[in-house]
């Protein structure tokens, strides 16, 4: 079975709806599409559910490879709640679509996992790039894959993760072309989102991080880089999927690509007090009379 990228799904009914309405639609299996653009400025998360026997190693793997796998929440074994991220979240039903992996291979997708739930399941919530992408667009930084409604290109690199137990493999990065004039803004904004991959890992020559051909992404759609732009590479949450493929746990359940958990907290988490940008930066980002 191939997992389906569901970025084309129509979710116009849910745009600009409050969290409660969107969550109910998802919980009742009325919506099984991607969550990009839903509940703006709310933290969305990648989800990985593993049996307790695998959970400890996976948790340490995430902690050792924070830039790719920024943990923002972990459940008690068997508890389908994630109270740190929302009082009434039920992880058995609150993702639009789930992918089931057996021995590291995707084998099925389901709209809920109520029937499969086990007392030894541990849920991990990881930060997601939607968070910083929203912030970049609000600051006037164009993102080509969003403007063109394509999926961000992602690449395997030759940068190795710090392996833990059977979890390991190389980093996956996402690439966005950035105008040279926007680079300072991009770094300064992303620095505020350590729980969403933070600052880019690399700029420029893709060969330096083991990408032989920028026009052939391993996931997502190729994106052109124009004159005056440089390719900018961020650690990507798909790194955790590669680690799971490598570890081959008997069973693992994740969100289907793009179909994230919508939480009750805002996209800066505990960083509200740092949201204020310095005056120079503000001016720089918004351009205007500079």
What is the contact surface with its own copies in residues (CB under 8 A)?
64-68, 158-162, 171, 179-184, 187-188, 191, 199-205, 208-210, 228, 230, 232-233, 235, 278-281, 283-284, 287, 290
Q: C-beta of 287: minimal distance to its own copies in Å?
A: 8
Give the separation between CA 194 and CA 201, rounded to whole angstroms: 12
Give the separation between CA 95 and CA 7, rounded to whole angstroms: 15
Please say which residue, 68 or 152, places its beta carbon nearer to its own copies. Answer: 68
Q: C-beta of 211: minimal distance to its own copies in Å?
A: 11
Q: C-beta of 249: minimal distance to its own copies in Å?
A: 23
Q: Under a CB-based contact definition with an 8 Å cutoff, are residues 39 and 94 in contact?
A: no
Give the separation between CA 45 and CA 85, rounded to whole angstroms: 10
Distance of CA 20 to the CA centre of its chain: 21
Please say which residue, 57 or 264, places its beta carbon nearer to its own copies. Answer: 57
For residue 34, which of 4, 76, 69 has the smallest C-alpha distance?
4
Please say which residue, 97 or 238, places its beta carbon nearer to its own copies. Answer: 238
Please say which residue, 14 or 201, places its beta carbon nearer to its own copies. Answer: 201
Q: Under a CB-based contact definition with an 8 Å cutoff, are residues 259 and 35 in contact?
A: yes
* CA-to-CA dists, residue 114 to 23, 47, 81, 119, 290, angstroms: 16, 16, 13, 12, 55
Please say which residue, 100 or 141, places its beta carbon nearer to its own copies. Answer: 141
Q: C-beta of 133: minimal distance to its own copies in Å?
A: 18
Residue recorded with tokens 């032989």: 212
* Tokens encoding 286: 């918004």
Q: C-beta of 283: minimal distance to its own copies in Å?
A: 6
């Amino acid at each position: 079975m191939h997992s389906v990228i569901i970025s084309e799904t129509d979710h116009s009914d849910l745009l600009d709806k409050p969290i409660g309405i969107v969550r109910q639609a998802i919980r009742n299996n009325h919506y099984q599409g991607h969550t990009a653009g839903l509940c703006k400025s709310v933290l969305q998360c990648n989800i990985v559910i593993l049996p307790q026997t695998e959970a400890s190693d996976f948790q340490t793997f995430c902690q050792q490879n924070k830039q790719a796998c920024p943990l923002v929440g972990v459940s008690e074994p068997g508890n389908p709640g994630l109270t740190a991220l929302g009082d009434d979240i039920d992880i058995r039903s609150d993702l639009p679509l789930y992918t089931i992996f057996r021995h590291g291979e995707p084998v099925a997708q389901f709209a809920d996992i109520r029937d499969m739930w086990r007392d030894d399941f541990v849920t991990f919530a990881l930060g997601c790039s939607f968070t910083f992408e929203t912030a970049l667009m609000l600051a006037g930084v164009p993102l080509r894959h969003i403007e063109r409604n394509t999926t961000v290109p992602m690449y395997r690199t030759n940068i190795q993760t710090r392996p833990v137990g059977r979890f390991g493999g190389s980093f996956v990065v996402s690439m966005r072309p950035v105008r040279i004039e926007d680079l300072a803004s991009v770094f300064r904004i992303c620095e505020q989102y350590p729980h969403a991959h933070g600052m880019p890992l690399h700029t420029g020559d893709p060969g330096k991080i083991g990408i032989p051909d920028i026009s052939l992404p391993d996931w997502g759609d190729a994106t052109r880089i124009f004159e005056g732009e440089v390719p900018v590479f961020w650690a990507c949450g798909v790194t955790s999927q590669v680690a799971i493929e490598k570890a081959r746990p008997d069973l693992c359940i994740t969100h289907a690509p793009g179909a994230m958990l919508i939480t009750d907290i805002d996209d800066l988490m505990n960083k509200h007090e740092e949201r204020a940008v310095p005056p120079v930066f503000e001016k720089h980002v918004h351009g205007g009379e500079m």
